[in-house]
Amino acid sequence: MKSKKDFITIGFALFAMFFGAGNLLLPPYIGLLVGDQYSITVLAFALSGIILPLLGIVAITMSGDSIEDMGKWTNRGVITVLGTLIMLSIGPLIAIPRTAATTFEVGVQPIFPEAKPMVTSVVFFIITLFLSISSSKVVDIIGKFLTPVLLIVLTVLVVLGIFFPISSPVDLSKTSNEAFSLGFVEGYQTLDALASLIFAGIIIAAAKAKGHVLLKEKTKVVILSGILSAACLVFIYGGLVYLGATSGVTDPSIRRSDLLIQLAQNILGGYSTFAIAICIGFACLTTAIALTSAFGSFFERLTKGKVNYKAFVILCCIFSSMISVLGVDDIITYAYPFLAFVYPIAITLVIYVVGFGKRIKSRSPYTGALIATTLFSLIEVSINFFNYSPDIFLSIRKLPFYSYEIGWLIPSIIGFVIGLSLPKKRDNALITSSKLN
C-alpha cells in the first residue's frame, strides 16, 4: 500500500515537472494545423514528447541514481560536460526564464494589462525560491499540493471541450505522413527528453527517501511513477490537440498563446481568463521549482559541495528573473542554436543505453555513437546558424529521416557499429548497474 501511495505522489510530481509552459501552448496549435488528422498527430507527439522522456528516466535508472552515473557508458568527463550543457539549457539560460515570461504574457497580462514583466518576474521567482530552497520537500510539495490544482483545471477544460466541441475538425488536406511529421517534430520542442535526464535524479532520490532503497524496489517505484506521468500527459496532450482541431480558428498565423486564450473563452466562458491564468501559473511554477531544485543539486555535486545547494538556487533565481523580462519569443530565438546542438547528443545516449545497455558493456560503441551525433550537430548548427555551408556539409540533408529532425540517427548507428567492431579490452570502470547500486 505504501509503495502504491508513493508512486502516485511521485508520478503526479513528475507529470507537473514535465508539463511546463511550452507543453500547454504547443498541442492546441498543432491541432489547428492538422485538422481532421489529429489522431495520428497525437500519436507522433506522444512518441517524441512522452515516450522519449520516459526512456530518459529508464536510462538513468539503468545507470544509477543521476545523470553523472551515465559516465559508465562512455566517459565521466563527457557526461559532466553534457550534463552541464543540459542543465544550463533547461535551467537559467532558457527553460526557467521562459516559465516566468509565459506566466506574464498569458497568465498575468490579459488580466492586468498595466502589469510590468519585471514585477511579475520578481514575484514568480520569490515563490520559486521559497519552494525550492529545501530540496527534500520539493517532490512532496509538487505532487501533493500543486499538481492536483493543475490537473483539475486542465481536466475541466479538456472534458468540456471534448463533450461540447466548438466546431468540427476541418479537412485541411494534410496527409497522414505530414500530420505525423508535424506532431513528432513539435514533440521535440517540449525539451522534456533533456529534462528527463535531470528529473530522474530527483525522482530516484524521492523514492529512496521514502524507503525504497533496494535496486528492484526503487526501479519499480520509479518506472510506475513514469508510467503514471505518461498516462496523464497522453490524456492532457491528446485533449488539447483535439481542442485545437475543433477550435473553429482558421488563421494559422495566430499566436499560440492567443489560441489558447480564445479556446478557454469559448469553452469556459466568463471565467476563462482566470482559468488560463491558473493553468499557466501552476504549469510554469511547478516546472520552475523542479528545474531550480535540479540546478542546485547538480552544481552542488559538480563542485563537490564547495558551493552549497541553497547558493546555487539563489543564483539561478536571480539570473532567471533577469533573462525572463526578454519575453518568450526572444528567449526562444536565442536558445535554438544551443538546443539544436545539445538535444541530438542527449537523445542518442538515451536510446543506445536503453536499447543495448543490458547486453553491451563496452564503452566504445556508445562513445562512437556520441562522436558521430556530435559531429552531425556541429555541422547542422554551422549551416543553420553561422551560415557556413560548404557542399560537403549540405550533403547531410540527404540523410534518411532528416526531415523529421532525426538526421543524426544513421550517423549514430554507424558510429555505434564502428565502436562495436573495435578490439575488445577489459574496462574495469564499466560495471553493471546492479553493482553501482
Q: What is the pLDDT of residues 261-272, one digit of tens each?
A: 888 888 877 777
Q: Which three cell numbers stand for residue 25?
A: 501552448
pLDDT at 185 exceeding the cut of 90? no
Q: What is the pLDDT of residue 429?
A: 44
Going by C-beta distance under 8 Å and a sequence separation of 6 or more, which residues neighbour residue 387? none
The matching CATH number, chosen from 3.40.50.2000, 3.40.718.10, 1.20.1740.10, 3.40.50.300, for 2-340 is 1.20.1740.10
- Predicted confidence at residue 433, as pLDDT, reads 42
- The pLDDT value given to residue 430: 47
Q: Which of 97-111, 141-155, 230-244 has the lowest mean pLDDT?
A: 141-155
User: What is this structure's pTM?
Assistant: 0.82
pLDDT score of 352: 95
Q: Over 50: is that where the pLDDT of 421 sits?
A: yes
327: left (phi over 0), alpha (psi -120 to 50) or beta: left
In which band, very low, low, confident or very high, does the pLDDT at 138 lie, cut at 50, 70 and 90?
low
Q: Which DSSP symbol is given to 116?
A: -
Q: Tell me the per-residue pLDDT of 73-95, one tens digit each, with 9 for 90 and over.
A: 988 888 999 989 989 988 999 88
| Three-class SS state of 246 | coil
State mean pLDDT over 130-142.
66
**Phi/psi of residue 399, each to 5°?**
-65, 145
The tens digit of pLDDT for each residue in 193-211 reads 888 888 888 788 888 877 7
pLDDT > 70 in the chain, percent: 91
**What is the rounded CA–CA span in Å between residue 54 and residue 45?**
13
Cα R_g (the chain), whole angstroms: 21
Mention every residue, 6+ apart, whose C-beta is less than 8 A from residue 130.
none
pLDDT, tens digit, for every residue of 105-125? 888 888 888 889 999 999 999
